[in-house]
């Protein structure tokens, strides 16, 4: 299995070096590449990634969906693994994905846990062990075979919010999804800047808007009105 690890970035100098170093530490063969697809960061994101020896692309489309699509076009792998810049996959991720592929799965994800000891976030993480689409939110890592990617199509570049959920919904219906019972460590920064209840209400509101066919602009406006969140989120 040749694994293409794809990371969309925008002003992630605080995290990108940690994440790439983590990936390189646990990758066990030469059958991989790491591609950073950047949306013209104004900080040192790209410089840090280049110094760590990974491929850095400047995406012509800003937004995670467009950035990930751009990287896939230049990826060499038969399996794509999408990782956010502030996420740390389980140390055995490469072997876990390979085993899933060998066992007939063509897409999947991992459980999640937060880089925080707050009890309420441990409850959030607990529910990611249930293999239902409702519990597969953003910020997780996703893998998919090249053949399934060709079948379901790209991330939708017109989507600046809910793009992960839309993509998961399509691969869930078209492929054989594997939820691997190991954890990806994800950032709690959204919860550090807002109360737990505020984040949950904002997520629930936007998901309901999405299911009712709301426009991207309306969902983004609602999300930003309800949350204080990092400037590079959209």
Q: Which residues pair with 142 in a beta bridge?
A: 82, 109
Tell me, what's the pLDDT at 128?
Answer: 82
**Comparison of pLDDT for 139 and 103, the residue scoring more:** 103
**114 or 52, greater pLDDT:** 52
DSSP-based three-state secondary structure for 57: strand
3 state DSSP class of 81? strand
Predicted model pTM = 0.91
What average pLDDT does range 101-118 have in this prediction? 93
State the pLDDT at residue 123. 86
- pLDDT-derived band at 134 (thresholds 50, 70, 90) equals low
CB 3 within 8 A of CB 31: yes
Per-residue pLDDT band at 193 (split at 50, 70, 90) = confident
Residues above pLDDT 90, as percent of the chain: 72
Contacts of 206 (CB under 8 A, 6+ apart): 161, 162, 219, 222, 223
**pLDDT at residue 233 above 70?**
no
Is residue 219 scored above 90 in pLDDT?
Answer: yes
Across the chain, mean pLDDT equals 91
Query: What b-and-e string marks burial along 143-157, b requiring 16 or more CB atoms within 10 Å of the CB?
Result: bbbbebbeebeebbb
Say what the pLDDT of residue 15 is.
94
Sheet-wide strand order for 3-9: 55-58, 32-38, 3-9, 79-82, 142-145, 107-114, 177-186, 87-88
Per-residue pLDDT, 187? 87
* Minimum mean pLDDT range among 41-50, 106-115, 130-139: 130-139
The pLDDT value recorded for residue 231 is 53
pLDDT value at position 137? 67
3-state secondary structure of 36: strand
CA triplet 101, 8, 104: central angle to 5 degrees?
10
């Amino acid at each position: 299995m040749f694994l293409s690890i794809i990371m969309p970035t925008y002003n992630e100098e605080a995290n990108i070096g940690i994440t790439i170093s983590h990936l390189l530490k646990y990758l066990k063969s030469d059958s991989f590449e790491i591609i950073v697809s950047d949306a013209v960061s104004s900080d040192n994101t790209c410089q840090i990634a280049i110094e760590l020896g990974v491929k850095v692309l400047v995406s012509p489309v800003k937004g995670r969906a467009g950035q990930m699509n751009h990287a896939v076009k230049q990826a060499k792998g038969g399996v794509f693994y999408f990782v956010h810049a502030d996420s740390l996959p389980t140390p055995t991720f490469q072997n876990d994905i390979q085993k899933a592929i060998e066992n007939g799965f063509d897409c999947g994800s991992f459980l999640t846990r937060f880089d925080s000891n707050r009890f309420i976030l441990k409850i959030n993480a607990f529910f990611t062990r249930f293999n239902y689409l409702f519990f597969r939110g953003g910020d997780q890592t996703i893998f998919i075979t090249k053949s399934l990617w060709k079948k379901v199509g790209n991330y939708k570049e017109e989507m600046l919010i809910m793009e992960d959920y839309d993509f998961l919904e399509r691969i869930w219906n078209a492929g054989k999804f594997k939820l691997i019972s190991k954890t990806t460590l994800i950032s709690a920064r959204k919860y550090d800047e807002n109360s737990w209840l505020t984040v949950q209400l904002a997520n629930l509101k936007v998901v309901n808007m999405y299911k009712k066919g709301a426009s991207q602009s309306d969902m983004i406006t609602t999300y930003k009105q309800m949350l204080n969140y990092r400037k590079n989120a959209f």
